[in-house]
Amino acid sequence: MNYQETTEYLYSQMPMFSRIGGEAYKEGLGTSEALDRMYGHPHHCYRTIHVAGTNGKGSTSHLIASILQQSGYKVGLYTSPHLVDFRERIRVNGQMIPEQAVIDFVEEYRNSGFEGAPSFFELTSTMAFDYFRKQNVDFAVIEVGLGGRLDSTNIISPILSVITNISYDHTQFLGDTLEKIASEKAGIIKPGIPAIIGEANDSLRKIFTEKAHEVNAPITFAEDCNQITGHKKENDKLIMETASNGTVINELSGNCQIKNANTVLNAIKALRNIGININEQAIAEGFANVCKISGLMGRWSVINDSPRTVCDTGHNVAGVQYIVKQLAKEKYSRLHIVLGFVKDKDITHILEMFPRYATYYFTNAAIPRSLPASELKALATARGLDGNDYPTVPEAYNAALEAASADDMIFVGGSTFIVADLLSHLNKIQ
């Protein structure tokens, strides 16, 4: 098989949760553990850092990887979902896994006689762990796919566990209260291993504290150890004054990135405390150039200056909350919003958060899980959001671009897959 045939096999034989939703969700670690045994426990060959959370876990994972890489280490990074190319999920020092390595792994698996029926994510996680071993990485930063306790990645024994925050998302699998969701994510806290919690209110703190005490794991709440003493935004950068690292320029400028940065700085402090050599210059360079170093995309990404055009993958109440606040601070004559969602998410509260003064371009991504644009338009119109529906993201974006003047602003988001379709479209026309 060539690369395209290989990825089509992965998508069709082992359906992706991100594409089709709950039908692809598979609970339990049994298959992951069986695959791990077959491949000789590859993740035992390097040190791992495990990152969970409802929002911010992708940015946090990329920042930690970026800083470790700038410290001179060879660093693997496993994240999901991808935006344009499957290989974005598996990187070493920012470079995507080669197409041939994906082909070779899948061929080896198909010829292995493995008797289980792994999900897309179970097999992809094994691919990442195996590739990192073959690349002889020093560290691998592993982002949880969904939840924590029963996630395929939770077979690793990390040197640090990080949980960014807790909000409502994937409630059909993780629970319908924040406490239930927190309990699932607390499942990545391991015996004796330091844990960093980015944000947590009193009831959630109790859950994390009890879990940490149960397994004798040192726990730090980043909000109690604020490393950022001040900040301002300049030229789509965050200029952060820090308690221990002086002035740090953060390439990620979204409002939510202040809390993510504080979580990262506490994580770096914890790594230093267990003997990992990370210097000040590496921290500064890791923040300042995280997108270039790690390949991060889609976090308040400016893709055009005239009209100013921004895309962001924030897709739940907590994520959209930051986006809407940031849109309100932007300067523009008129605001155009290209918007789409997946159909298995309750978007009632999310739609009510968006501004009514904007012009909307309702659309859907090219995946089965997308909420049809016409249905979204009906839901949005009932909540005072005016606009037309478009069958594809490129058509919606082009309509916004045609209607916008130079001093207007275009925002594209609502779903990771809306941003993915936009970036794929832009890549094709460049």
Q: What band does 12 get if pLDDT is binned at 50, 70 and 90?
A: confident
Q: The CATH number of the domain where 162 resides is what?
A: 3.40.1190.10
pLDDT digits (tens, 9 = 90+) for 259-273: 999 999 999 999 999
Percent of the chain with pLDDT over 70: 94
Give the range of the structural domain holding residue 305, as residue numbers without chain letter.
301-429
pLDDT score, position 420: 95
Lowest mean per-residue pLDDT among 26-30, 52-56, 126-130: 26-30
Same domain, 415 and 282: no
- Whether 127 and 135 have beta carbons less than 8 Å apart is answered as no
Rounded-to-integer distance, Cα 3 and Cα 364, Å: 27
Closest-CA residue to 159 (of 49, 240, 248, 77) = 49
Which residues, at least 6 apart from 327, have a Cβ–Cβ distance to it below 8 Å? 335, 355, 409, 411
Mean pLDDT of 344-358: 92
Rounded-to-integer distance, Cα 160 and Cα 278, Å: 15
**Looking at per-residue confidence, does 175 or 72 come out higher?**
72
Q: What band does 18 get if pLDDT is binned at 50, 70 and 90?
A: very low
Mean pLDDT of 11-21: 58
Picking from 268, 294, 320, the residue at the C-terminal end of a domain is 294
Same domain, 346 and 224: no
**Looking at per-residue confidence, does 75 or 24 come out higher?**
75
Rounded-to-integer distance, Cα 88 and Cα 96, Å: 6
Same domain, 89 and 171: yes
Q: What band does 27 get if pLDDT is binned at 50, 70 and 90?
A: low
What's the pTM value of the predicted model, to 2 decimals? 0.93
Same domain, 120 and 242: yes
Q: Is 74 exposed, middle or buried (0-12, 13-18, 19+ CB in 10 A)?
A: middle
User: Mean pLDDT score of the chain, rounded to an integer?
Assistant: 93
Rounded-to-integer distance, Cα 73 and Cα 57, Å: 21
Closest-CA residue to 257 (of 239, 272, 244) = 239
pLDDT score, position 111: 96
Q: What band does 315 get if pLDDT is binned at 50, 70 and 90?
A: confident
Q: The CATH number of the domain where 322 resides is what?
A: 3.90.190.20
For the cut 60, the answer to whether the pLDDT of residue 17 exceeds it is no
Picking from 294, 316, 332, the residue at the C-terminal end of a domain is 294
pLDDT score, position 14: 67
pLDDT score, position 16: 52
pLDDT score, position 173: 53
Same domain, 159 and 253: yes
The total number of structural domains in the chain stands at 2
Same domain, 10 and 117: yes
Picking from 249, 265, 294, the residue at the C-terminal end of a domain is 294
Same domain, 284 and 377: no
The encoded tokens of residue 410 equal 């275009």
Lowest mean per-residue pLDDT among 157-171, 309-323, 383-397: 157-171
- Whether 49 and 158 have beta carbons less than 8 Å apart is answered as yes
What sign for the dihedral angle of Cα 393, 398, 400, 406?
Answer: positive
Q: What band does 20 get if pLDDT is binned at 50, 70 and 90?
A: very low
Neighbours of 261 (CB within 10 A): 25
For the cut 70, the answer to whether the pLDDT of residue 428 exceeds it is yes
Same domain, 179 and 157: yes
Lowest mean per-residue pLDDT among 175-179, 234-238, 327-331, 370-374: 175-179
pLDDT score, position 92: 98
DSSP string computed for 230-258: EEEEETTEEEEEETTTEEEEES--STTHH
Mean pLDDT of 68-74: 98
Q: Count Cα neighbours of 302 within 13 Å in the Cβ-side half-sphere.
A: 15
Same domain, 36 and 176: yes
- Containing 424, the helix (H) or strand (E) segment is helix 416-429
Same domain, 220 and 368: no
Mean pLDDT of 404-411: 98
pLDDT digits (tens, 9 = 90+) for 228-258: 999 999 989 999 999 999 999 999 998 889 9
Using CA atoms, how far residue 403 sits from 25, 303, 361, in Å, is 40, 17, 11
pLDDT score, position 176: 64
pLDDT score, position 385: 98
Percent of the chain with pLDDT over 90: 85
Q: How far apart are the first and last CA of the chain?
A: 28
Same domain, 223 and 354: no
- Burial code (b: 16+ CB inside 10 Å, e: under 16) for 267-299 equals bbbbbeeeebebeeebbbbbbbebbebbbbbbb
Same domain, 29 and 166: yes
pLDDT score, position 344: 80
For the cut 80, the answer to whether the pLDDT of residue 291 exceeds it is yes
Q: Look-up: residue for tokens 């291993």?
A: 193
pLDDT digits (tens, 9 = 90+) for 358-401: 999 999 999 988 999 999 999 999 999 999 999 999 999 999 99
